[in-house]
C-alpha cells in the first residue's frame, strides 16, 4: 500500500509532491556535521589576497571598539562582570525574567530574597569602569546584605539601619527600577510612537530601523488578535513616518508568525494556510501601501517548512506583485540554511519579486539541542560548535551576494570578522540597495558606529528594535542576556581584555577546516545520551515530512489488517474455539474493528502455570549476560518494527501520533535499561523468585507491558503476562518480538482475558511467586489481600493512581504554565497515571491564568487520532466515558463552575470526553481519581502554600506533583515536605523517562520500587546483595541516632545483650552502613537543560514485631540506619528496652498499645513463618496503603524502608540554558 492510498492531509502532508529544492531542505534537516561542514568550509573560504584585508579590517574594528570603552553599552559591561557561569549571573537572569510580572508584593519580596541573599555582590564592586555596572553592583550589595541580615537583632552601620527601615518594599522598588533600566537598554520604546521618536537621533547618524513588537507566542485567539492589532498600528505609524522613503531607505517592521496564530505548528498546516496566511497577507498589503519592508522572523526549527509554505504563497500572490519589501529571516546555525537559500533564490526567480533575506546566526540554539535530546532524534538541526555556525554564515553570505539581482541581503551580525569578510566578499563598489548590515538595539551600535561614520567602509546599517512595555520584555531580555553571556559570544568576548584581539578576529574557516566537522565533544548525539551504559531509544521527528509519510503509510497498511491475539502458551494450543474470539474496536471509531482476541480459559491458565513452573530453574540458570542480551535484542526488534507498532497503538488504544511514538520509545528504553542492569548480576548472589505474573494496563499497553515483562525476564523469572482486556493485540505483538529475540516460549506466555477470571486465577495460584501490577488502587488492594491469604513472601509491585497536583505561584510565567497544564491534563485524554488532576493557582494570578487556559483549550482539536492534526483522542471505552460524565454531572449539581470544550460530530463514532475544567473549594472534595481529561482548579493565597502541601499529603496519594515557581526556596520547601514519588519543576508532569525520571508513587499510589530505577529488579529476586549505586552519589554521614545506638550497644546495652549478640549486631551495623540508602541522592543522566535526581528518604514510622530483646535492638538498628522512627507493641520487654535506651533516642522509639490502628509505613518482623503469614493478612485487610512486612535474611532489606523520590527540574525555564551556553567552543 502506498502513500497515495491515504489522505495526505491527515498526516499534515502537502497534497502534491514537493519540488526538488524543498526535498533537499528536508533531506538535510539533521545532517551529520562531518558530512555537512566540509562543503561549507570550501564555500566560505576567501581567496588568499582577501584574507589579509579581512584580517586587517576586523583588527581595526575590534581595536577601535576596545579603545573607546565609554561607547560600550552598559549591558555588554554588565554581562562581562556577571558571567552566566557565576551564581550572581544566574540569579540576575532569573530575577530579570520573573520580577516584573509578579503582581503581589509578598511573592515579589520572597523572589528578591531568594535570588539575592546568597550572592557575593561585594566581590564585583569597582571591577568595571561602567557606571551602569557599578550602580547595579552597589544596589545588589545593599539589597543582598539587607536580605541576608534582616532578621538579626542589631545592624551596626548607618547603612544597615537605613536598609532596616526600608525593608523589602525598598528593595522591591529599587530592583523593579533596576530591571526597568536594564530593559531600556534593549527596548526602543514602550510603544511605536515613542520608539520612532527616540530613533530620530540615531537615524540622523545613518541608521535605519526594523521594529519588532515584543510579546510571547500567542496562546489564544485573543492573543493573536491583540498582536495583529499591534502590528497594524505599528505599520501605519512606521509608514506615515517613512514618508515614501522606500523599502531600503525607510524603516520597516519584523513580525513573528507565532504571535499571529496560536496553532502555528507543523501539525496544523490547513489552519495555518486558511487562517494565518490571510492575516499575514493583510499586513503585507498594508506595508506595501506605505512602501516599507516587512520581514518574517525565523523561529524554532520545526516551524521552518511551514514558514516556507507561507513565504511562497505571499511571493506568488498577484496582489503583492512588484513590491520589494517582502522579507524572510534565515538562521545560519541550521544545517538546512544553504538549501533554504537555494529555494528562496529560486522562488524569487519564479515570482519575479526581489525578496529581502536577513541572515542571522540563530537565537534558539540551546533549545534546539535540548529538544533533539529529549525526542531522541537522529541528530541536531543546528551545529554543535559556534565556529561551524560562523562558517555557515559566511558560506550563506556568499550565496546571497551572488544572487543580489533577485535578493536584497541583510546581514545581521555583531561579529567584526564576519562583517569584514562580507565587505570584502561583496567587493568595494557598495551602493545603497546592494546589501545592508543589521544589529540589535542596545548591543551592536558601538561596533557599527565605526561603519556608519566612515567614508571608507560606510554601509547602510539597520537596527532591529524591540518595542513594548517592560512586562512584554521579559522573554526577549533573558534571551539577549543569555546570548551575550555565552562564552563563545563575540559581544561577551569583546569586553574581556583577557581575550587577545588576534583570537577575536581569527578566521573561522581555518579553525573549522582543522576540526573537519567533528562535533562538540561535550554535546553527545541524542542516541549517545547515556554514554556506554545503553543506547537511547530512537525517536521520530514528526516535524519532518518524510518521517510523517512513512508513519502514514504504516497506518494505511494497519487499516487493511485485522490483528489476532490468543493465549500464547509454551507448547499447547488454546483450549477455546476460534469462534469464541471477540472483536477489538478502535475507541476513536467503533466502526473500525482492529482485530479479534481469543481469551484464555482456566484450563489455559493451568497449562501455562505448569510450563512456567517447569522452566523456572532452566531460565534462572542462564547466564545473566545472556538473558540481558536477549532482552536488549527485544528492544532492537521493537525499533525495527516501530512504524507498525505505532500504527497499532493509534488504532487499538486511541493514541495520538506523538503519544504512540513515546510509547514505543519507552518500551525500548525499558528493555535496554533492565538489560544493562541485569548484565551485571551473578547467579550465585542474585537468585530469582520464580514465575512472575505481569498485569498491565490499557493506557500504556506496549510500554508498561514490555517494562514489566523485560524486568521479570532480565531478573531470571519466567513470565505469565495478562494484558488489559481493552488492548490485547499490541501485547501479543510484543510477546512475538520477545520470543523472536530468544526468550523461550515457556518463559513468556500470554494469557489475555478478564481480571475477574484469568487474573484472579493467576493471583490465587501458589505457583505464582511474584506479581507486578499497574492499575487502580482498589484492584491493587484486592491482589494484596489474595496474595497475603496464600501465605509466604510473594513480592507485589503495584503502581496505582494518584490525585496529582500542580502548584503555581505568581512568579511563574503564565504562558509556560498554560502550555504545561494543557499537556499534563489533556494529553492522552488525561489517561496517564501521572496526569494533572488538580491545578492549585495562587489567587493573585488565577483569573489571568484560567482565562488563558480556556483560550488555549479552545484551540485544541479532538477526534480520531489516526489524523495527526488531532490533539486529543478518545477515552478507552464506554465504561470510562460514563464514569467521567457522571463525575462532571455531579459537580455541576453541586454548583461547581464547569467549563467544557464542545465535541464535534466526528466524536460520536467513538468514546470521547470533552476537556473539562472544574473549580473546587478544597482538595478534600475529590474522593477518587478521575482518569480522563478533567482538570480541577483550586485557588490559594500566597501565605497558604504550606497548607496546600499538607492537603496533598492528607489525601493519601503520592504519585506526581508539579511546581511552577521561580523561587528556589519555595521549590525546595515543597520538595522536602511533599510525600510524592515524582516531582516536576517548571515543566509538564508527564512523560517520565526510563532511568532519567524513575517512576512510581508512595502511599495509596504504589508500593515501590520505581519502574526504570535502580531498585526495581532487586524486588524480583529472592536473594540479592542490593543495588550498586552511582559512586558519585552524595551520601550523608552516619545519622546521629544510629551512632548513639551503636555506642549504647557497646556500653549500656550489654546489660541485656550477650557478647556474641553484640558482635552480631555490630556486623549488622557494618552491613547497614554499606547498604544504607536513606540520605542518598543520585544525579541521573538526561538531556541538557534539565536537572534530574533520585533521593532516598525514610518511610517515616515502622513497627517492630519480635519476641526477644536482641531482635528488637536489631530492628531498632535497621530503622535508625534508614532514618525511620520505630514503634513496638506495649509489653513488659519493650517497656524495659525503652527504659534502658539513651535519652537521645526517645524521639525515635516508642511503645504503643494500638500501633497498627495508628498506622505504620512498614513492619519489621522476627518470628515464625506462620506468624508472618498472619501478620501479612492483618496488614492487607486494613483500609490503608499497602504496607510491607520485612524479615531479616540475615539483615533487613533497607531498600524496603525508604521511599524513592524523583525530582526533575527544567533548568532552562527562565528563558534559556545557561550551562549549555557557557560550555565554550
Strand 252-255 to 207-213 pairing: parallel
Angle (CA) 59 60 62, round 5°: 65
Q: How far is CA 1094 from CA 305, 386, 669, 1012, 1203, in A?
A: 40, 34, 18, 11, 10
Instruction: For residues 1131 and 1106, give the distance between their C-alpha atoms in angstroms, rounded to a whole number.
Output: 11
Can you tell me the distance from the alpha carbon of 1090 to that of 1084, in angstroms, rounded to the nearest whole number?
Answer: 10
How many CB atoms are located within 10 Å of the residue 883 CB?
A: 15
Output b/e per residue, 1101-1113; b: 16+ Cβ within 10 A: bbbbbbeebbbbb
Is 833 catalytic? The answer is: yes
Contact (CB, 8 A) for 112 and 95: yes
Phi, psi of 1184 (to 5 degrees): -160, 165
Spatial distance between the Cα atoms of 183 and 906, rounded to a whole number of angstroms: 49
From residue 583, alpha-carbon distances to 597, 653, 698, 711 in Å are: 6, 14, 16, 30
Residue 1208 phi/psi, 5-degree rounding, is -120, 115
Per-residue exposure over 526-536, b if at least 16 CB sit within 10 Å of its own CB, e if not: bbebbeeebbb
> What's the 3-state SS for 787-855?
HHHHCCCCCEEEECCCCCEEEECCCCCHHHHHHHHHHHHHHHHHCCCCCCCEEEEEHHHHHHHHHHHHH
Are 233 and 192 a contacting pair, CB within 8 Å? Answer: yes
- Contact of 302 with 377, CB cutoff 8 Å: no
- 182 and 96 in contact (C-beta within 8 Å)? yes
β-strands 719-722, 687-688: how paired? unpaired
The CA distance from 549 to 544, in Å, is 9
Report d(CA 183, CA 1115) in Å as an integer: 61
**What is residue 759's DSSP assignment?**
I
End-to-end Cα distance, the chain: 48
**Candidates 300, 445, 677, 799; catalytic one:** 799
Q: Which of 601, 798, 618 is nearest to 718 (CA)?
A: 618
Distance CA 537, CA 533 (A): 13
Nearest CA to 968 out of 985, 982, 947 is that of 985
Active-site pick, 94, 671, 694, 833: 833
* CA nearest to 841, candidates 95, 97, 91, 103: 103
Residue 578 class from Cβ within 10 Å (0-12 exposed, 13-18 middle, 19+ buried)? Answer: exposed
Q: 3-state DSSP call for residue 113?
A: helix
Which cell goes with 577? Answer: 474455539
Residue (of 715, 645, 703, 766) closest to 999 by Cα position: 703
Residue closest to 1183 by CA, chosen among 1003, 996, 976: 1003
Q: Burial, 953: exposed, middle or buried (Cβ in 10 Å; 0-12, 13-18, 19+)?
A: middle
User: How many other C-beta atoms can be found within 10 angstroms of the C-beta atom of residue 349?
Assistant: 12
Pick the closest to residue 660 from 804, 868, 802 (CA basis): 868
**799 a catalytic residue:** yes
Task: Give the whole-angstrom CA distance, residue 1219 versus residue 1212.
Answer: 9
Which residue shows C-alpha cell 494533572?
A: 836
Going by the DSSP 8-state scheme, the letter that residue 274 receives in this structure is I
Instruction: Give the list of residues 6+ apart from residue 34 with CB closer than 8 angstroms, or none.
Output: 516, 517, 518, 519
Residue with cell 557494618: 1070
State the catalytic residues: 799, 833
Amino acid at each position: 500500500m502506498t502513500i497515495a492510498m491515504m489522505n495526505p492531509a491527515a498526516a499534515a502532508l502537502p497534497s502534491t509532491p514537493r519540488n526538488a529544492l524543498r526535498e533537499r531542505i528536508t533531506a538535510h534537516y539533521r545532517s551529520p556535521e562531518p558530512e555537512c561542514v566540509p562543503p561549507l568550509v570550501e564555500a566560505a573560504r576567501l581567496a588568499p589576497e582577501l584574507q589579509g584585508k579581512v584580517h586587517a579590517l576586523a583588527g581595526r574594528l575590534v581595536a577601535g571598539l576596545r579603545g573607546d570603552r565609554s561607547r560600550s553599552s552598559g549591558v555588554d559591561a554588565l554581562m562581562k562582570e556577571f558571567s552566566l557561569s557565576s551564581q550572581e549571573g544566574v540569579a540576575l537572569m532569573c530575577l530579570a525574567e520573573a520580577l516584573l510580572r509578579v503582581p503581589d508584593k509578598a511573592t515579589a519580596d520572597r523572589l528578591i530574597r531568594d535570588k539575592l541573599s546568597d550572592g557575593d555582590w561585594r566581590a564585583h564592586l569597582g571591577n568595571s569602569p561602567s557606571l551602569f555596572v557599578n550602580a547595579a553592583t552597589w544596589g545588589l550589595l545593599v539589597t543582598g546584605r539587607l536580605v541576608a541580615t534582616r532578621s538579626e537583632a542589631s545592624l551596626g552601620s548607618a547603612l544597615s539601619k537605613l536598609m532596616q527601615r526600608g525593608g523589602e518594599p525598598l528593595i522591591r522598588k529599587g530592583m523593579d527600577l533596576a530591571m526597568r533600566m536594564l530593559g531600556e537598554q534593549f527596548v526602543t520604546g514602550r510603544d511605536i510612537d515613542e520608539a520612532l521618536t527616540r530613533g530620530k537621533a540615531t537615524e540622523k547618524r545613518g541608521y535605519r530601523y526594523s521594529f519588532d513588537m515584543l510579546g510571547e507566542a500567542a496562546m489564544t485567539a485573543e492573543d493573536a488578535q491583540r498582536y495583529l492589532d499591534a502590528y497594524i498600528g505599528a505599520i501605519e505609524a512606521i509608514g506615515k513616518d517613512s514618508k515614501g522613503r522606500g523599502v531600503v531607505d525607510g524603516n520597516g517592521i519584523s513580525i513573528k508568525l507565532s504571535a499571529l496564530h496560536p496553532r502555528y505548528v507543523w501539525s496544523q498546516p490547513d489552519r495555518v494556510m486558511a487562517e494565518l496566511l490571510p492575516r499575514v497577507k493583510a499586513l503585507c498589503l498594508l506595508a506595501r501601501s506605505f512602501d516599507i519592508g516587512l520581514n518574517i522572523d525565523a523561529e524554532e526549527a520545526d516551524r521552518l517548512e511551514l514558514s516556507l509554505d507561507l513565504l511562497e504563497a505571499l511571493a506568488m500572490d498577484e496582489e503583492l506583485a512588484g513590491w520589494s519589501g517582502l522579507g524572510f529571516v534565515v538562521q545560519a546555525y541550521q544545517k538546512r540554511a544553504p538549501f533554504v537559500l537555494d529555494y528562496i533564490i529560486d522562488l524569487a526567480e519564479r515570482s519575479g519579486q526581489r525578496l529581502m533575506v536577513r541572515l542571522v546566526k540563530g537565537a534558539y540554539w540551546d533549545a534546539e539541542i535540548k529538544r533533539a535530546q529529549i525526542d531522541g532524534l537522529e541528530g541536531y538541526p543546528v551545529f554543535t560548535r559556534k565556529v561551524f555556525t560562523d562558517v555557515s554564515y559566511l558560506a550563506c553570505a556568499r550565496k546571497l551576494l551572488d544572487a543580489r539581482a533577485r535578493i536584497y541581503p541583510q546581514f545581521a551580525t555583531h561579529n567584526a570578522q564576519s562583517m569584514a569578510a562580507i565587505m570584502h566578499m561583496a567587493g568595494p563598489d557598495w551602493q545603497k540597495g546592494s546589501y545592508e548590515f543589521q544589529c540589535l538595539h542596545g548591543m551592536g551600535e558601538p561596533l557599527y558606529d565605526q561603519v556608519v561614520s566612515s567614508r571608507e567602509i560606510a554601509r547602510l546599517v539597520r537596527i532591529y528594535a524591540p518595542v513594548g512595555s517592560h512586562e512584554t520584555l521579559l522573554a526577549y531580555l533573558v534571551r539577549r542576556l543569555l546570548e551575550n553571556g555565552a562564552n563563545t559570544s563575540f559581544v561577551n568576548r569583546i569586553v574581556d581584555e583577557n581575550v587577545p584581539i588576534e583570537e577575536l578576529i581569527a578566521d573561522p574557516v581555518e579553525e573549522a577546516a582543522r576540526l573537519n566537522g567533528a562535533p562538540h565533544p561535550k554535546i553527545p548525539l541524542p542516541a549517545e545520551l547515556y554514554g556506554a551504559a545503553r543506547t537511547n531509544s530512537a525517536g521520530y521527528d514528526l516535524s519532518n515530512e518524510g518521517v510523517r509519510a512513512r508513519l502514514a503509510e504504516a497506518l494505511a497498511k494497519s487499516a487493511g489488517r485485522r490483528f489476532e491475539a490468543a493465549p500464547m502458551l509454551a507448547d499447547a494450543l488454546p483450549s477455546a474455539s476460534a469462534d469464541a474470539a471477540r472483536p477489538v474496536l478502535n475507541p476513536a471509531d467503533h466502526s473500525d474493528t482492529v482485530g479479534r482476541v481469543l481469551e484464555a480459559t482456566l484450563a489455559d491458565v493451568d497449562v501455562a502455570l505448569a510450563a512456567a513452573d517447569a522452566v523456572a530453574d532452566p531460565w534462572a540458570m542462564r547466564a545473566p549476560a545472556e538473558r540481558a542480551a536477549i532482552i536488549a535484542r527485544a528492544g532492537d526488534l521493537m525499533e525495527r518494527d516501530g512504524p507498525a507498532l505505532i500504527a497499532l497503538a493509534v488504532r487499538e488504544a486511541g493514541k495520538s501520533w506523538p503519544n504512540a511514538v513515546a510509547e514505543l520509545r519507552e518500551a525500548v528504553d525499558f528493555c535496554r535499561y533492565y538489560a544493562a542492569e541485569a548484565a551485571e548480576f551473578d547467579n550465585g548472589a542474585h537468585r530469582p523468585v520464580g514465575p512472575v505474573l505481569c498485569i498491565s494496563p490499557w493506557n500504556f499497553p506496549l510500554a508498561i507491558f514490555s517494562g514489566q515483562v523485560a524486568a521479570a525476564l532480565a531478573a531470571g523469572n519466567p513470565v505469565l503476562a495478562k494484558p488489559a482486556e481493552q488492548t490485547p493485540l499490541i501485547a501479543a505483538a510484543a510477546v512475538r518480538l520477545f520470543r523472536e529475540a530468544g526468550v523461550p516460549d515457556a518463559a513468556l506466555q500470554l494469557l489475555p482475558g478478564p481480571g475477574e477470571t484469568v487474573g484472579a486465577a493467576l493471583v490465587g495460584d501458589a505457583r505464582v511467586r511474584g506479581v507486578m501490577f499497574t492499575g487502580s488502587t482498589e484492584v491493587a488492594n484486592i491482589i494484596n489481600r489474595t496474595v497475603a491469604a496464600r501465605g509466604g513472601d510473594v513480592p507485589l509491585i503495584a503502581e496505582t493512581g494518584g490525585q496529582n497536583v500542580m502548584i503555581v505561584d505568581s512568579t511563574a510565567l503564565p504562558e509556560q504554565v498554560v502550555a504545561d497544564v494543557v499537556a499534563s491534563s489533556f494529553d492522552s485524554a488525561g489517561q496517564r497515571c501521572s496526569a494533572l488532576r488538580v491545578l492549585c493557582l495562587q489567587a493573585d494570578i488565577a483569573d489571568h491564568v484560567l482565562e488563558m487556559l480556556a483560550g488555549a483549550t479552545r484551540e485544541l482539536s479532538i477526534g480520531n487520532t489516526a489524523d495527526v492534526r488531532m490533539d486529543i483522542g478518545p477515552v478507552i471505552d464506554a465504561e470510562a466515558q460514563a464514569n467521567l460524565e457522571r463525575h462532571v454531572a455531579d459537580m455541576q449539581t453541586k454548583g461547581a463552575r464547569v467549563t467544557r470544550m464542545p465535541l464535534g460530530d466526528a466524536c460520536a463514532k467513538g468514546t470521547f470526553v470533552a476537556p473539562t475544567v472544574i473549580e473546587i473549594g478544597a482538595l478534600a472534595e475529590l474522593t477518587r481519581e478521575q482518569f480522563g481529561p478533567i482538570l480541577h482548579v483550586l485557588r490559594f493565597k500566597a501565605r497558604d502554600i504550606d497548607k496546600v502541601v499538607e492537603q496533598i499529603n492528607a489525601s493519601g496519594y503520592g504519585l506526581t506533583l508539579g511546581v511552577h515557581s521561580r523561587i528556589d526556596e519555595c521549590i525546595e520547601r515543597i520538595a522536602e515536605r511533599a510525600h510524592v514519588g515524582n516531582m516536576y519543576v517548571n515543566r509538564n508532569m508527564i512523560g517520565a523517562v526510563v532511568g532519567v525520571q524513575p517512576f512510581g508513587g508512595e502511599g495509596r499510589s504504589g508500593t515501590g520500587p520505581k519502574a526504570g530505577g535502580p531498585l526495581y529488579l532487586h524486588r524480583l529476586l529472592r536473594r540479592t546483595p542490593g543495588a550498586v549505586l552511582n559512586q558519585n552519589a552524595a551520601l550523608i554521614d552516619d545519622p546521629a541516632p544510629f551512632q548513639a545506638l551503636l555506642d549504647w550497644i557497646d556500653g549500656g546495652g550489654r546489660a541485656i545483650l550477650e557478647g556474641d549478640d553484640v558482635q552480631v549486631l555490630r556486623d549488622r551495623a557494618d552491613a547497614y552502613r554499606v547498604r544504607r540508602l536513606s540520605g542518598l541522592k543520585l544525579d541521573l543522566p538526561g538531556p541538557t537543560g534539565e536537572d534530574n535526581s533520585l533521593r532516598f528518604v525514610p518511610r517515616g514510622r515502622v513497627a517492630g514485631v519480635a519476641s526477644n530483646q536482641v531482635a528488637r535492638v536489631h530492628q531498632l538498628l535497621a530503622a535508625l540506619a534508614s532514618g525511620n522512627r520505630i514503634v513496638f507493641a506495649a509489653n513488659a520487654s519493650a517497656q524495659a528496652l525503652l527504659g534502658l535506651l539513651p535519652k537521645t533516642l526517645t524521639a525515635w522509639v516508642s511503645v504503643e498499645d494500638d500501633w497498627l490502628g495508628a498506622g505504620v509505613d512498614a513492619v519489621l518482623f522476627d518470628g515464625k513463618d506462620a506468624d508472618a503469614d498472619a501478620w501479612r493478612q492483618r496488614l492487607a485487610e486494613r483500609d490503608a496503603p499497602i504496607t510491607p512486612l520485612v524479615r531479616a535474611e540475615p539483615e533487613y532489606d533497607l531498600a524496603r524502608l525508604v521511599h524513592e523520590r524523583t525530582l526533575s527540574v527544567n533548568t532552562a525555564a527562565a528563558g534559556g540554558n545557561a550551562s549549555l551556553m557557557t560550555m565554550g567552543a
